[in-house]
């Protein structure tokens, strides 16, 4: 594919329901990030996958949030028992393996806008 693909682009769910957000990174990209962005705010780091290493989950806000990356490619972010404060745009980004020169740029998807009613 040409870029990072995220689905769905919009998701409206009722409080208490579970949601799954999907990210298809650029082929061959070994690094994958999930961020959350509320309206007019910065990027809140959630989780980072790099190759076969254990993911950096330090940004997940609660145990209702989890993410996995199957086969080093597609990633799914799951939010259980959604709350209204979970409403935000969830952005996924991928990059090639970091190099000796310091790393490759992140390519972001268009995001999933999650609204919890």
Partner 1 sequence: GQQVMQIPQYQHVQEGEDFTTYCNSSTTLSNIQWYKQRPGGHPVFLIQLVKSGEVKKQKRLTFQFGEAKKNSSLHITATQTTDVGTYFCAGRYGRGSTLGRLYFGRGTQLTVWP
Q: Shortest distance, CB of residue 74 to partner 1, whole angstroms?
A: 19
Confirm or reject binding of residue 103 to partner 1 (CB under 8 A). Answer: yes
The size of the chain, in residues, is 117
Residues 70, 42: Cα–Cα separation, whole Å: 28
Is 7 an interacting residue with respect to partner 1 (CB under 8 A)?
A: no
Strands 75-79 and 44-50: unpaired
User: How many other CB atoms are there within 10 angstroms of residue 99's CB atom?
Assistant: 8
Q: Does 101 bind partner 1 (CB under 8 A)?
A: yes
Q: Which among 97, 96, 87 is positioned nearest to 21, based on CA atoms? A: 87
Q: How far is the CB of 33 from partner 1 (least distance, A)?
A: 7
User: Is residue 48 within the footprint of partner 1 (CB under 8 A)?
Assistant: yes
Q: How far apart are CA 96 and CA 98, in angstroms?
A: 6
Q: Provide, rounded to whole angstroms, the least separation between the CB of residue 8 and partner 1.
A: 16
Binding residues for partner 1, per CB under 8 A?
Answer: 31, 33, 35, 40, 42-43, 45, 48, 50, 56, 91, 93, 98, 100-103, 105-111
């Amino acid at each position: 594919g040409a870029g990072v693909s995220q689905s769905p682009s919009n998701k409206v769910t009722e409080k208490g329901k579970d949601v799954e957000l999907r990210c298809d990174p650029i082929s061959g990209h070994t690094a994958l990030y999930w961020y959350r962005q509320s309206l007019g705010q910065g990027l809140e780091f959630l989780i980072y996958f790099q190759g076969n290493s254990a993911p950096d989950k330090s940004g997940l806000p609660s145990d209702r949030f989890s993410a996995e990356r199957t086969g080093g490619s597609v990633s799914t972010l799951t939010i259980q028992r959604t709350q209204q404060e979970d409403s935000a745009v969830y952005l996924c980004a991928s990059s090639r393996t970091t190099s000796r020169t310091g790393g490759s740029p992140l390519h972001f998807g268009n995001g999933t806008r999650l609204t919890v009613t």
